[in-house]
Structure 1
């Protein structure tokens, strides 16, 4: 492809020159000035109520942060009482609203508001005079800020670093020690300390997986037990009795995930610690432990869903399964490329494909049907509209399935009839899904370009096109993909003329931008060309291992 692109006869360079400043315009329009001074301004009550409800039925069910009755009481007072809550509560509320805003509608119409609220909370939390603030509420705000930064995409790539700070802050104020060792605590104080510590452990694992960095936690470094199986209202009682393990409460999911934390931590230490041996035998041993824990977790969730009085929501069940499937995928991913050609690693190939299929079916349940239904479920919207964990691994899962499909095409076309139906059109469906991500506010287009290139490559192989013709076909696919993305970015940027002209730069409000290749951009694109868009299957895989 490179000679075609450098010859100047292709429109790809023009499109890519244009996409970068368009992305900058979009991001600059969303981002307020730094520092952004915190204010007490809030949306109308009806909007706040809806955003708060979205947060409670999604993020809070997995990552317990709030004592909901106490938070709800102060929240209600904002609209009914004359007294104003302190700024710490306002920051907590704005972060809750920011998370809810990302799932408010399918176009994320409140994204700019969400970004501003995150900026305000970051400014408030960055105050140099914070020693007096260290406590449970400070940690709650810090955790909500981590979640909001990732989902809203405000420095989301650095959340692993910030998660380490939150972990050490929690240790500094003693959350790693079980509160039973600390005298004079109420039930509410005891259980909130356990809940917050539990959530910090969960986020430490999640950010380790996303960043590829060590989790920096050990099971020997704390003795805080999991939260008790109590509903939030019970924490206000003097001596509440915890429900049985099979009874579902507001804390049951957090407890269930804590039980499988050792198996998940073993996966991350095996993958991300520098002294890990990385052998296949160790992979299979860890896989056995992980699957045993996963089986126990599924039984626990099934027991909850069999009850008629109270049970977890569809989002909660799907999110837990999504998380567990991603651990399976991560564990076997180092051997997936080899498994495509070496039957010794066939188990890893099957594990990655099976887990990726499950992830894709949850993230895009309407693939092949209505592309953006009004009834889009919460998890599917989170995978499409937010940044971070859920969308990242939806995209990765689709690319692993694309690599599997391509290998099957190369191995034996007669075998295609035996494939799962969801695998047949995975590349087109994934590209359509990624385009909807862009329409919802994602500014990066390389994922869409990559998927269209993979699709073009597979079509050429199906039709037995000569290898010498591949570069021209791939460049044409790249041009077509860019022409699809650019108008979407122009619309997001508010350009008056969304169509590409001869120069692609007139009348679009971008005259002040330098469209020359920067060394950084050229290096980035050359690496993408040489690795991600390689015709070899392992090259496609390498793009998402690196």
Structure 2
């Protein structure tokens, strides 16, 4: 029996829930698997009589894919990510499998699918072997070597299944390559002239099993609709990332405004297209459709914000020069509010909001973007207070200040869900204390005292949570459910997001001069990540 055939699976009830999470929250956006084929193999590994994994010899390659699906789905299982240890084990098993001897025979569709699943699982659980941008770039070149960048109609036409899986996988590779490029600040290393593979056709997965299936009309919702709509906005998003990260780049503000107009036009068209789909059986459940639309908003606002963040610092200058970039300042804050409200809709966890769970329990993209949005809003609040020259403190916009209060509560929920780095919690509490001090008109000496107390409060709140995490891990080790070397180190502002250049060094906390001068300075355009 192959060693991976004995991989321990959770109970059938739990496994079903994790697979459902994956299909609803990942496969609906990033098409990787053929759902009927996956479902058939999934059912085959269960013994219907006892409800546990079958003792037969299942395909080890499929078991690896299944484990990665379970790991991705486990992130949103509940608000505390109790399956983190299992998810880490599943990813380690997949890494071991993928680290085996690589032959040309393994350059196939199944291998591409597994690599995509591994990339997503590593990023969301926080088990990072190398920067996601590097992994995505390797996968892009592997796919090009296999010819996925050429549309199958121009090479060797195959069955409907082969053609559409070819297009879907290339489309997902493009999407993840672009996303990791924006997140890391690295060049996308691809242009529209480098490929001619068409977008996925508007077909449901069952249609792929029928040769010469008729593509459904654009107005009819299918399992590929979201991927198709994102692809339509791909040229505009690629132009934004190349403008920001390619070298050399013109970098003019006029070019920024032109790209902004094109991106907004594409975003508007995407929204109109999605909203036009009829509320009938052709559309997914309300819960799934709500998640998909929120995910689209989250993604698109991230690109819009990224385009204007480099001018955010200049827009805050008090010498009058900032007025030239007032549009960028407004855009950055508008996008930050939309991102925050999409990911963190209320001050308490929303059990029906998978996007909120991704922001709270996952590592990398979602919590990093949410954290960055909160800090941009904090910078705006601080600037509003410093710009005011009235004798009485100005009343701040309540919906902005509410974000800081919500961010404080959210940062604690992140730690409760397994985050081991308290830097995000520390900074958001410092920022909030500083804004409250400015609102109260406190002096520099009193401000320093206020900030010191905020740091002490964070320690009092976080230390018991971290001690409970360590105790829980020790109990798992003693029970034989976890190896000591498997203890995760997820990091909202560090390991996973180190490529954001947003990991705050110890020198940040030097309060000798202005206690909060680190929040914003003239170099913010180069120091802050592209959201």
Superposition TM-score tier, normalisation by shorter sequence = 0.7 to 0.9
> How far off its partner does 1:525 sit?
4.2
Structure 1 CA distance, aligned partners of 2:270 and 2:190? 22
| Cα pair 1:457 1:535 within 8 Å, conserved | no
Identify the residue that residue 423 of structure 1 maps to in structure 2: 400
Map 1:124-523 to 2 at 5 A: 124-155=97-128, 158-304=131-277, 306-307=279-280, 309-311=282-284, 313-341=289-317, 342-367=322-347, 371-373=348-350, 375-412=351-388, 419=397, 421-494=398-471
**Residue ranges of structure 1 left out of the alignment (5+ in a row):** 1-35, 498-508, 510-522
| Cα pair 1:400 1:541 within 8 Å, conserved | no
Structure 2 CA distance, aligned partners of 1:431 and 1:446? 12
| Cα pair 1:408 1:415 within 8 Å, conserved | no
Question: Cα gap change, 1:475/1:132 in structure 2, threshold over 3 Å: closer, same or farther?
Answer: same
> How far off its partner does 1:400 sit?
0.6
2:24 aligned with 1:63: no
| Cα pair 2:31 2:172 within 8 Å, conserved | yes
Map 1:80-95 to 2 at 5 A: 80=47, 83-95=56-68
Task: Describe the SS at the equivalent of 2:219.
Answer: coil
- Aligned equivalent of 1:529, options 504, 509, 519: 509
> How far off its partner does 1:441 sit?
0.6
2:46 aligned with 1:79: yes
**Residue ranges of structure 2 left out of the alignment (5+ in a row):** 48-53, 475-483, 485-502
> How far off its partner does 1:157 sit?
6.2
Q: TM-score, normalised to structure 1's length?
A: 0.84
Structure 2 CA distance, aligned partners of 1:496 and 1:142? 29
Structure 1 CA distance, aligned partners of 2:250 and 2:6? 51
Structure 1 CA distance, aligned partners of 2:180 and 2:38? 27
| Cα pair 2:508 2:518 within 8 Å, conserved | no
| Cα pair 1:533 1:540 within 8 Å, conserved | no
> How far off its partner does 1:481 sit?
1.2
Q: TM-score, normalised to structure 2's length?
A: 0.86
> How far off its partner does 1:330 sit?
0.6
Task: Describe the SS at the equivalent of 2:28.
Answer: helix
> How far off its partner does 1:325 sit?
0.4
| Cα pair 1:384 1:437 within 8 Å, conserved | yes
Identify the residue that residue 50 of structure 1 maps to in structure 2: 17
Structure 1 CA distance, aligned partners of 2:522 and 2:203? 47
2:520 aligned with 1:538: yes
Number of residue pairs aligned between Structure 1 and Structure 2: 482
Question: Cα gap change, 1:389/1:461 in structure 2, threshold over 3 Å: closer, same or farther?
Answer: same
Task: Choose 333-342 or 67-76, whichever is displaced more.
Answer: 333-342
Question: Cα gap change, 1:139/1:249 in structure 2, threshold over 3 Å: closer, same or farther?
Answer: same
> How far off its partner does 1:309 sit?
3.7
> How far off its partner does 1:172 sit?
0.9
Question: Cα gap change, 1:529/1:255 in structure 2, threshold over 3 Å: closer, same or farther?
Answer: same
Question: Cα gap change, 1:271/1:104 in structure 2, threshold over 3 Å: closer, same or farther?
Answer: same
CA RMSD, Structure 1 to Structure 2 (Å): 2.5
| Cα pair 2:25 2:354 within 8 Å, conserved | yes
Structure 1 outlier segments of 4+, above 6 Å:
none
